[in-house]
Amino acid sequence: MYYSQNNVTLERRNLLILIGLTLFVILIARLYQLQIVQYNRFAGIAEANRIRVISREAPRGIIFDRNGNIIADNKSQYNVNLIPFEAGQNENVYSILSEILKIPEREIRQRVRKNWRGQFLPARVAGDIDFDTLTELEERRLELPGVLFSLEPIRSFPSGANLSQVLGYLREVGKEELRVIKDYGYRPGDLIGWKGVEHEYESVLRGKQGYSFVQVNVFGQEVGEVRNKRSVEPKFGNDLYLTIDLGLQQYAEELLNGKKGVIVAMDALNGEILSLISKPDYSPNLFSGIVRSDVWNRLRDDPDKPLYNRVTQGTYSPGSTFKMVAALASLEENILDPKTRFRCRGSYKLGRRDFKCWKLGGHGRMNLYDAIVNSCNVYFYSLIRKMDIDIWAEYARKFRFGELTNIDMYGESLGLVPDKAFMDEKYGVGGWTEGNKLNLVIGQGDLLVTPIQMVRFAGTLATNGKLSVPHLGLKYFDRDNDRFHYFAQSTGDSIDDISASSWEFIRKAMYDVVNSRTGTGRAAKVRGLDVYGKTGTAQNPHGDSHSWFIGFAKKNEQVIAMAVLVEHGGSGGGEASVIASKMFRYYQKELVPQQFTSRGANRN
């Protein structure tokens, strides 16, 4: 029997034992790290391979008019989503999906990155797919691991009225918005209200998303529900009621079809907007779901600017509608006896320049009352020569021109009321003349207003100085508590330092603008209704003059204020007055019997 000598030294044996122990310790440490320290991570990955989280979009609240007619509702559309991890195991998924959806593969990948929420969470890549596309996706499901579709509620508009500038629209939340609103539960690809009441009342209208959990096999096919995870039902958004009267809104939209301009009708007593139209506009159905880039680009680049809200963003010269500011300043500051007469021969000479009156043959001898009724420029040229520009600007600011009305719409413009400091800064001290004042007093020059400011101006004249805050939100239905909540509206300010006699003087003149034989607003007259108004013709360097009418009508305890602007419409006594007459006639026939003021003001 032979024996081999053991040549392993004690040092080598100890070294081998040490290496073995070290490897064993590393193995134990790694097992501890995987099974204990990183348990949640790997358990989540394993769970994600077995369980799919299906988000269930919540319908937004329905939008109604003041009478309960539906303006914006919800309908369903199918969206295509992709789970990046599953799709990444088979690169053919993107090419096949591109073929079915007819979307470039590169764009699909871009959409995945844009709407990325994690490797195992679905990212939306297409919206509003038709039934044929849905069928093909189902037929080729085995070729498309990680591809699934979801049912999502989107806006529908059953009323037939556009109301595009009132409603605004929905758009996908971008990365920049997410940084600001990340704490409010928004995710990439979610829709959010953008402009209009959809934006202003987003917190009221938005619902809460729900979730369900399904078990899937290795092919990504659903094989059943997960019993130990309870689904979360989506929560419907709250219903919003607007101050808009849908019938009046539809009628006003028809009156402005084919024109550029604005109609705003407001309850002068409480600021409730009954009708708000800015034309040209667009069909809200274009924004019912995800807006296609070609549709957005067409609207954005349209020279008629259908996305532009002329009511709150457009700034215009008000023309002769602004003469009443100078008239009130003169009455209150005793600048000129209202009975003083000036002869109008069709022009006013200042230095070497002639400033025209709209009536080239002249009006003859005019006092303040006659000058308002006949809209005589020459009288107001004579008046402003005796008035400091800062006095005129002070009275313009009493009516809050040059300030926001704080209407519940995003993106309101300020307008501009020039005073001496402004003129000195713009033209230099001594660089402007009395001629600038002559332009300002007839609503031209550097003076700029918005139509929403003008309808409030009309309402203020009707109510002896009540500066109501225009608003569109009336109330909402709280689904959690099963009750209505009325929005707390600001009562607004009042102009308390103008005498009752001055208000009455202006109102009498405005009545005769519409109802006398020589009034410039005769076309706005309505039989059986007290209509007060003022016309304006605003010169436009880009074409024909803009046509203005502002005014109000009284019936019983109701007062409706109106502002009508027709771009390139010519004289204020023409198109704008005719449209105002039709609006007042509708109001007399349809709204007066409804007693809209008493109902709108009810806060029970």
* Residue 189 to residues 60, 108, 112, Cα–Cα distance (Å): 16, 14, 10
**One domain, residues 370 and 481:** yes
**One domain, residues 214 and 84:** yes
Residue bearing the bigger pLDDT, 433 or 16: 433
Between CA 144 and CA 90 the distance in angstroms is 8
Q: Which residue has the tokens 């409030």?
A: 456
Q: Which domain holds residue 31?
A: 10-40
* Amino acid (one-letter) located at 328: L
Q: Which residue has the tokens 């609006």?
A: 583
Instruction: Identify the band that residue 603 occupies on the pLDDT scale cut at 50, 70 and 90.
Output: very low
Give strand ranges (E) for 101-259: 123-126, 147-156, 169-172, 191-194, 210-216, 222-225, 239-242
- Of 242, 270, 292, which residue constitutes the final position of a domain? 242
Strand 239-242 versus strand 63-64 pairing type: parallel
The residue-averaged pLDDT of 495-514 equals: 96
Both tokens of residue 495? 């102009």
Cβ 475 vs Cβ 601: under 8 Å: no
| Confidence (pLDDT) at 463 | 95
Whether the upstream peptide bond of residue 280 has omega within 30° of 0, thus cis, is: yes
**One domain, residues 499 and 548:** yes
Instruction: Identify the band that residue 271 occupies on the pLDDT scale cut at 50, 70 and 90.
Output: very high
Average pLDDT along the chain: 86
Q: Is residue 49 part of a domain?
A: no
The residue-averaged pLDDT of 173-196 equals: 75
For residues 435, 436, 442 and 445, what is the CA-based torsion angle, rounded to 10 degrees? 140
Between CA 118 and CA 192 the distance in angstroms is 21
Strand 123-126 versus strand 261-267 pairing type: unpaired
| Confidence (pLDDT) at 62 | 95
Between CA 318 and CA 107 the distance in angstroms is 48
Between CA 379 and CA 87 the distance in angstroms is 78
Residue bearing the bigger pLDDT, 46 or 147: 147
Instruction: Identify the band that residue 484 occupies on the pLDDT scale cut at 50, 70 and 90.
Output: very high
Q: Is residue 151 part of a domain?
A: yes
* Residue spans of alpha helices (H) in 500-571: 500-515
Both tokens of residue 566? 């027709």
pLDDT at 542 over 80: no
**One domain, residues 175 and 279:** no
Instruction: Identify the band that residue 600 occupies on the pLDDT scale cut at 50, 70 and 90.
Output: very low
pTM tops 0.85, yes or no:
no
Between CA 485 and CA 201 the distance in angstroms is 13
**One domain, residues 279 and 159:** no
pLDDT at 81 over 90: no
Q: Is residue 417 part of a domain?
A: yes
**One domain, residues 225 and 252:** no
Share of the chain above pLDDT 90, in %: 54
pLDDT at 39 over 80: no
| Confidence (pLDDT) at 500 | 96
Instruction: State pLDDT tens for residues 339-354.
Output: 999 999 999 999 889 9
The residue-averaged pLDDT of 203-208 equals: 90
pLDDT at 294 over 90: no
| Confidence (pLDDT) at 342 | 95
Instruction: State pLDDT tens for residues 361-375.
Output: 999 999 999 999 999
Between CA 46 and CA 85 the distance in angstroms is 12
Between CA 82 and CA 122 the distance in angstroms is 5
Both tokens of residue 602? 């009810």
Q: Is residue 50 part of a domain?
A: no
DSSP category for residue 362: -
Highest mean pLDDT among 10-19, 80-89, 130-139, 241-250: 241-250
Instruction: Identify the band that residue 601 occupies on the pLDDT scale cut at 50, 70 and 90.
Output: very low
| Confidence (pLDDT) at 494 | 92
| Confidence (pLDDT) at 229 | 66
Both tokens of residue 413? 């413009």
| Confidence (pLDDT) at 515 | 96
**One domain, residues 238 and 258:** no
The residue-averaged pLDDT of 430-451 equals: 94
The residue-averaged pLDDT of 197-207 equals: 92
| Confidence (pLDDT) at 216 | 63
- Of 179, 213, 242, which residue constitutes the final position of a domain? 242
* Amino acid (one-letter) located at 119: Q
**One domain, residues 414 and 467:** yes
pLDDT at 525 over 80: yes
CATH number at residue 168: 3.90.1310.10
| Confidence (pLDDT) at 221 | 53
Between CA 66 and CA 274 the distance in angstroms is 9
Residues 6+ apart with CB under 8 A from 480: none
**One domain, residues 250 and 218:** no
Biggest CA-to-CA distance, the chain: 149
Between CA 577 and CA 560 the distance in angstroms is 15
The residue-averaged pLDDT of 296-315 equals: 91
| Confidence (pLDDT) at 296 | 80
> Nearest CA to 531 among 320, 265, 311, 327?
265
| Confidence (pLDDT) at 343 | 95
Between CA 324 and CA 460 the distance in angstroms is 12
pLDDT at 492 over 80: no
| Confidence (pLDDT) at 596 | 54
Q: Is residue 64 part of a domain?
A: yes
Instruction: Identify the band that residue 219 occupies on the pLDDT scale cut at 50, 70 and 90.
Output: low
**One domain, residues 284 and 376:** yes
The residue-averaged pLDDT of 76-89 equals: 78
> Nearest CA to 271 among 463, 435, 439?
463
Cβ 273 vs Cβ 196: under 8 Å: no
The residue-averaged pLDDT of 10-38 equals: 79
| Confidence (pLDDT) at 451 | 97
| Confidence (pLDDT) at 56 | 73
DSSP category for residue 452: H
Give the chain's end-to-end CA distance (angstroms, integer). Answer: 113
Number of domains in the chain: 3
∠ Cα 450 456 457 (to 5°): 85
Q: Is residue 48 part of a domain?
A: no
Q: Is residue 266 part of a domain?
A: yes
DSSP category for residue 463: T
Q: Which residue has the tokens 């600007």?
A: 393
| Confidence (pLDDT) at 598 | 41
**One domain, residues 384 and 416:** yes
| Confidence (pLDDT) at 54 | 65
| Confidence (pLDDT) at 198 | 93
Q: Tell me the three state secondary structure of residue 150.
A: strand
Between CA 103 and CA 409 the distance in angstroms is 36
CA atoms within 13 A on the CB side of 427: 17
| Confidence (pLDDT) at 107 | 84
Q: Is residue 4 part of a domain?
A: no
| Confidence (pLDDT) at 599 | 45
Q: What are phi and psi of 466, to 5 degrees?
A: -80, 120
pLDDT at 558 over 80: yes
CATH number at residue 344: 3.40.710.10
**One domain, residues 122 and 14:** no
Instruction: Choose the weakest-confidence range: 21-25, 278-282, 488-492.
Output: 488-492
